Structure 1
């Protein structure tokens, strides 16, 4: 099949404001769009996010470039796809030759600060680069500087302390200390982990969606045990897992609400671009998977994105065209009126230029999952022979509003008709009726790959030193080793 000309979008919008706004970027780790209530979910999980969407803009089809934390954040901070920035399970450090969003905003005169609950977003991976101040996950652990009774009460869920609570306390302290309408604007980034497996939810939020109490400790939250078949989970178990996830989301949403209420009282929101999104989604039993590993289904790729600014964004705006999450990189640079926003990186994309009447339709979005060496090694601790070719493989996908084609390094390709099969349960890769569309999507994916430019030179994971015992243990707790 001959491929028609394929061109990525290239349009430029320069925004002007009397005073450059502050930018607050909140990443709610592992939140999938279809569990957010303003995206049509059956449970009222996110009244705070819903309110921001009503006061600003909601993007209904946002696709992340990677289905797990490290490469997704690297894309968010560089405007590049994983192939371009090179961060993966085989290469866990962002090259110092690649400029980051925080670096460029620093150069543009912004005061930059980062708060991360996730050990993958930290100094050890290079994702702290450019932040004038950066507070990593060790700063927010609930067990830090607490007495014995408080530690026990947390385990029994009698104490509501959490990483989110501690993070927001420090964020507000920083803002009260350093934000001054007469001084330079600030860029604040924060990553929250309440919706990252394993979930630990205050008891009152578990009761929010369940009429009957259950012992959440009996529900398996280890994806390696489930996927390798070491631990079986019933339909009821998976329903309870989803309930725990929703409860964690509701709790995190309430903490974000507390943060925004405080900002409103301080008058900070009057000239602040507020962005709430996620780095990737979460599997809750779909496709025989839990957590966020080994696939490129929409359960992992489609994330929420809402933004608010009183003068830059018309309240109640909804954008239904699909977009890439990491176009936030260029959007933020243009809002900040950074000089580098003219031509470099993804500088031609400004998401705030998209309206219902004047959208530029990108047509296709893309995502990558490089070979899962860390995940495979961990799974083989439970089953030494585990080597499912559909799962232990590198993946790439191209997605349109109608179709998705997933390329597998081990030949387990997939093709879905999204309008009739949004849950991606009927693989049409062998369907002769779909052959023309499959060929077209293969062609688009190949041509897109030809546009990517690798911009990194650095060691593989075997050459990196993970000699920090606390970091290694934290990653083990989160299911990475």
Structure 2
């Protein structure tokens, strides 16, 4: 009896070790404020992203990936939970009561931790910080720049770290130190790079000079677009540095890589420079997967969403039957294998609850509550507090969203509005305003979110 029991435990331990051995590392890299159409492999005319482009050649590029919000904490929460904002309850960056991830919603890091993964996150700005509950499940959550005062400066005078953000070289240095310390396998690593968000994180001069070559810079907007591209190039270089280190350490062959962004940027489109609206330039994001079990050089054209990342990464990591109940995303592994029989949705949802000034009413501060629903070729933008601003676009004929077809297609608009109602996504009555601490206000003000 004793020998039989010992044999049972020996087999159990061997089985567990075999399961761990077959599981793969997962690295999720989230670039902040990076439009898909400013990435080379998405057709951009300038060479902003050679390392990301190379990764796309070695893996799969999703051509029509939609973020669940155009604000960082809300979007990152959907990436890390596989749920829409109306499920995970982190729906605003500030000014409302819904500014933290719901404790009842499992996170990707928590699931990996429960399967004996080492978990670590290295973030680069306050909007992706533990202030919003995004640290849950991570054994290491490096946001050390929040304690950095006064700011540290690069030799060329540009900001390296401050109380609200740090540059890609600072974050990447911390990532490499962690990898070189041999975190153990398997591991889940989330890296957040903030540089494209604003011009405070200027890259070294050579990146900006390169972006100026061969392009006309006639005004301040042209210059800022060039700066934006230079910041993408700088972040891209650090994506490459992380990939090269995985190679050097012999980890690449057993690691699934995912590169995306939290949202895009207006850059003057639709008379809007920043984000917090839901036009395509703000919610269509790059999404690239590469690693074991992922075919090379493939482009997936059907619509996918950030909520699909959680079930996809768990499946690619070879963690069987691990997707929590309540996850709303769908695994993309069927698309990777070319299974056209899969019953996939053709709908994508996004939302934003923010403060902004409508261009039609300059100087007036409005509470911006906007919902977007894309279904096949149609996209509805719904402003529940200002329905006169509702818009309907045919994305096949009008990908730039220049022609509002709402009046000619009321039935289609009503159908899409019905989808929002069915999801119980629309919150006409806003939650009670939340008291924002002076410290949070200072950090948000330094990033341009509040005046």
- Class of the TM-score when normalised by the shorter of the 2 chains: 0.7 to 0.9
- Report if aligned partners of 1:104, 1:340 keep a CA contact under 8 Å in 2: no
Instruction: Return the offset for 1:348.
Output: 6.9
Instruction: Return the offset for 1:139.
Output: 6.5
Among 381, 401, 404, the alignment partner of 1:427 is 404
List runs of 5+ in structure 1 lacking aligned partners.
Answer: 1-15, 216-234
1:121 aligns with 2:112: no
In structure 2, how many angstroms separate the alpha carbons of the residues matched to 1:285 and 1:249?
Answer: 17
The aligned runs of 1:15-414 (5 Å cut-off) are 19-89=22-92, 90=96, 91-136=98-143, 138=145, 153-155=156-158, 163-180=167-184, 184-199=185-200, 200-211=202-213, 236-293=219-276, 295-309=277-291, 311-338=292-319, 341-342=322-323, 344-346=325-327, 349-355=330-336, 357-359=338-340, 360=342, 361-370=344-353, 372-373=354-355, 375=356, 385-387=363-365, 392-409=367-384, 410-411=386-387, 412-414=389-391
> Counterpart of 2:315 in 1: which secondary structure?
helix
In structure 2, how many angstroms separate the alpha carbons of the residues matched to 1:24 and 1:278?
Answer: 14
Q: 1:137 to 1:408 in 2, by over 3 A?
A: farther
Q: 1:139 to 1:124 in 2, by over 3 A?
A: closer
Q: 1:139 to 1:175 in 2, by over 3 A?
A: farther
Instruction: Return the offset for 1:209.
Output: 2.2
Q: 1:472 to 1:138 in 2, by over 3 A?
A: farther
Per the normalisation by structure 1, the TM-score is: 0.79
Q: 1:436 to 1:125 in 2, by over 3 A?
A: closer
Instruction: Return the offset for 1:248.
Output: 0.8
Q: 1:385 to 1:164 in 2, by over 3 A?
A: closer
Q: 1:176 to 1:33 in 2, by over 3 A?
A: same
> Counterpart of 1:354 in 2: which secondary structure?
helix
Deviations 1:106-129 (A, max 9, x none): 111110001111212222221111
Greater displacement, 297-306 / 120-129: 120-129
Q: 1:286 to 1:141 in 2, by over 3 A?
A: farther
Greater displacement, 56-65 / 95-104: 95-104
Root mean square deviation, CA, Å: 3.1
Q: 1:321 to 1:282 in 2, by over 3 A?
A: same
Q: Which has the higher contact order (CA 8 A, sep 6+)?
A: 1
> Counterpart of 2:224 in 1: which secondary structure?
helix
Deviations 1:225-244 (A, max 9, x none): xxxxxxxxxx8322222111
- Report if aligned partners of 1:142, 1:166 keep a CA contact under 8 Å in 2: no
- Report if aligned partners of 2:308, 2:332 keep a CA contact under 8 Å in 1: yes
List runs of 5+ in structure 2 lacking aligned partners.
Answer: 1-18, 161-165
Q: 1:72 to 1:342 in 2, by over 3 A?
A: closer
In structure 2, how many angstroms separate the alpha carbons of the residues matched to 1:194 and 1:343?
Answer: 33
In structure 1, how many angstroms separate the alpha carbons of the residues matched to 2:132 and 2:324?
Answer: 27
- Report if aligned partners of 2:90, 2:132 keep a CA contact under 8 Å in 1: no
In structure 1, how many angstroms separate the alpha carbons of the residues matched to 2:150 and 2:239?
Answer: 21
Q: 1:462 to 1:439 in 2, by over 3 A?
A: closer
